[in-house]
Amino acid sequence: MVLGDIMLDCYFWGEVSRISPEAPVPVVNVKEQNYTLGGAGNVAKNLADIGARPLIIGTRGDDDNGKYLVKHLKSSGIDARGVVVDADRPTTQKTRIVAHSQQVVRADFESTDEISEEVQEKIVKFIKRNIKDVSGLIISDYGKGVISYRLLTEIIDYMNERGIFIAVDPKDVHFMNYRRVSIITPNHHEAGYAYHKKITDEESLKQVGFGLVDLLEARSVLITRGEKGMTLFEPDEKFTHIPTEAQEVFDVTGAGDTVIATLVAAVAAGAKLHQAARLANFAAGIVVGEIGTSTITREKIADALENGIKTKGPGAPTKLKLT
Q: Is the distance from CB of 83 to CB of 70 less than 8 angstroms?
A: yes
Please tell me the predicted confidence (pLDDT) of residue 298. Answer: 82
Average pLDDT over residues 90-94: 97
HSE-CB for 276 with a 13 A CA cutoff: 23
Q: What is the 3-class SS of the chain, one letter each residue?
A: CEEECEEEEEEEEEEEEEECCCCCCEEEEEEEEEEEEEEHHHHHHHHHHCCCCCEEEEEECCCHHHHHHHHHHHHCCCEEEEEEECCCCCCCEEEEEEECCEEEEEEEECCCCCCCHHHHHHHHHHHHHCCCCCCEEEEECCCCCCCCHHHHHHHHHHHHHCCCEEEEECCHHHHHHCCCCCEECCEHHHHHHHHCCCCCCHHHHHHHHHHHHHHHCCCCEEEECHHHCEEEEECCCEEEEECCCCCCCCCCCCHHHHHHHHHHHHHHCCCCHHHHHHHHHHHHHHHCCCCCCCCCCHHHHHHHHHHCECCCCCCCCECCCCC
Query: Residues 179-215: pLDDT tens digits?
Result: 999 999 999 999 999 999 999 999 999 999 999 999 9
The catalytically annotated residue of 5, 79, 86, 257 is: 257
CA 79 from centre of chain: 18
pLDDT of residue 274: 92
Rounded distance, CA 80 to CA 90, Å? 17
Query: Looking at the predicted structure, is the pLDDT value of residue 248 above 70?
Result: no
Check residue 13 and give its pLDDT.
Answer: 95
Over residues 111-170, the pLDDT tens digits come to 999 999 999 999 999 999 999 989 999 999 999 999 999 999 999 999 999 999 999 999
Question: What percent of the chain is predicted at pLDDT more than 70?
Answer: 89
Does the reported pTM lie above 0.85?
yes
Task: Please confirm, yes or no, whether 257 is among the known catalytic residues.
Answer: yes
Instruction: Count CA within 13 A, CB hemisphere, residue 11.
Output: 18
Which pLDDT score is estimated for 246?
47
For strands 55-60 and 2-4, give the pairing: parallel
Q: Which domains does the chain carry?
A: 2-7+37-91+110-307 (3.40.1190.20)
